[in-house]
Amino acid sequence: MTSFSGFQRKSKYAFDIDKYLELAAKAVEDNVKQVQSPVTVVGDVHGQFYDLIELFRVGGEIPNTNYLFLGDYVDRGAFSVETITYLMLLKLRFPLRITLLRGNHETRQITQVYGFYTECIRKYGNPTVWQLFTDLFDYLPIGAIIDDRIFCVHAGLSPTIQHIGDIKDIKRFQEIPHEGPFADLMWSDPDTDNSGFTLSARGAGYMFGQDVVNRFLHENNMSQIYRAHQLCMEGYQTLFDGKFCTVWSAPNYCYRFENLASILELDEKLNMYFNIYSDAPENERAKEIENSQFGGRNDDNFFI
């Protein structure tokens, strides 16, 4: 693990980031975090910092609102450093008001391809900040349960996980593997056309049908599954008789898809409301940065 001490700060973006990352790494939570309602569930935000601020305008500021983020804080957008730094500071300041789960982009390999590594080099002049953050990602929980009724994860289910207790046994303090139950939770997607598990076109994880969802909910005495991971043009999607919900919280994804975003608000009785919003007006600056800094990048697999 990268040392948190001795980090030389010479960039205009610099502050005591090593100090705060060391504190965050010490605040270790269980693999599956217990969360109480009322709570607002957030999907992918992908480095779109101005849209994150818009999200808090729409949903309410912490600590007045409790939040559960489902992962994918970095890559794609122009402000991954600002996005993950702000969220980590909120976690340190209000640890009982915000939960941050791990997504498939919170890894060393993926962030070297889809923007976060390059952004850290551009803003700090060396990879130290990237190393510190990716070390920290290993500490993030990989699932959550709301009021013992709703299971939350970044992506989906695994053929090797029948019970939530199996997730609690995963050794998560590592890079997300290429295969196995940990990878499946980070990469898998629902399939409305087929039953059971089938291989995913993503090259990691599986596709799974309604029968898989129903069986998992029954075995674990859950009522719904909330996840993120897939772009939804309307900001959200509900499948399988409302038992499986996707939340997408990056409006106008990559500053080009013109999609809406949503956050899923749950009250004390678990009544749900998708609060829909569009991208923040400040994003004109982000588009300029995206075009100038990353215009020549050929990583146009937007659905990783």
Instruction: With beta carbons less than 8 A apart as the criterion, state whether 35 and 145 touch.
Output: yes
Determine contact, residues 49/55, Cβ cutoff 8 Å: no
Helix, strand, coil percent values for the chain (each to nearest 5): 30, 20, 50
Contact predicate 51/250, CB 8 Å? yes
Residue 260's DSSP bridge partners are none
CB atoms within 10 A of CB 200: 18
Distances (CA, A) of 167 to 157, 180, 194: 10, 12, 25
Given 46, 105, 154, 229, the catalytic residue: 105
Query: Closest Cα partner for 251 from 41, 40, 44?
Result: 44
Q: List all residues 6 or more positions away from 267 whose beta carbon is below 8 Å from its beta carbon.
A: 37, 38
In the structure encoding, which two tokens stand for residue 152, read together?
Answer: 């939350």
Q: Catalytic site residue 154?
A: no
Q: How many CB atoms are located within 10 Å of the residue 193 CB? A: 7
Active site residues: 105
